[in-house]
Structure 1
Amino acid sequence: MKDDDTVRQAKRTLDRIGEEGGLSATPVMKSTANSVRDHFTAEDADKNDRVEVWGTRIARGLAILAFAGLVLWMVGQVSG
C-alpha cells in the first residue's frame, strides 16, 4: 500500500514539474542539436576566408572519424 502512495506522489510531482517547464527536454535537445550543427558547419570560422571554413569542417569531420575509430578499437580490446 505504501508503494502505491509513493508512486502516486512521484507521478504528481513529475506532472507538476512538467507543467512548470522543468522537464521540458525539447528546447534543450533543440539547443544542443543547433550547437552541434553550428560546430560542424564551422559557424565560428571567419566567413570571409573560405579556406578556413572548409579546413575547419574537414578537420572536425576527421576528428569524428578518429574518435569513432578509437571507440571501435577500445571496444575490440575490451571484448577480445
Structure 2
Amino acid sequence: MTGHHHDDERQREAKAILNRVRQETEPQVGGHTEAMLFRTRDHFMARDADPIDRIEVIGTRIGRLAAIVGFIVFAVLLAIQLASD
C-alpha cells in the first residue's frame, strides 16, 4: 500500500510540474491578454519581492519605474533623431 501511495504522490507532483511548465511556455497572445496584464501589474507592483522587506519592495518599484521612464526617453530621442535625418 505504501508503494501505491508513493506512486500517487509522484504522479501529482509530475502533473503539477507539467502544468507549471505549460503556463510558463504558452504564447502570451490572444485570449491570455487579461492574464498578461495581471502579470505585468504584479511585476511593476513588485509582488515578487520579499513583502516583509518594505525597502526592497519600494526599491524594486522605483527601479522598474525608472526603467520604463528611461525606455520612453530613449525611444523619443531615437524618434527625434530619425525624423531629423
**Does the TM-score normalized on the shorter chain lie above 0.5?**
yes
Q: Counterpart of 1:30?
A: 34
- TM-score normalised by the chain length of structure 1: 0.66
Note the 1:1-80 alignment, pairs <5 A. 25=30, 27-80=31-84
Q: Counterpart of 2:15?
A: none
Q: Counterpart of 1:11?
A: none
* TM-superposed deviation, 1:45: 0.1
1:59 counterpart letter in structure 2: G
Distance (Å, rounded) in 2 between the aligned partners of 1:74 and 1:38: 29
Where structure 2 has 5 or more consecutive residues not aligned to the other structure, the ranges are 1-29
Detail structure 1 runs of 4+ shifted over 6 Å in the superposition.
none
Aligned length: 56
- TM-score normalised by the chain length of structure 2: 0.63
Distance (Å, rounded) in 1 between the aligned partners of 2:64 and 2:70: 10
Distance (Å, rounded) in 2 between the aligned partners of 1:30 and 1:57: 22
Q: Counterpart of 1:15?
A: none
| SS of residue matched to 2:46 | coil
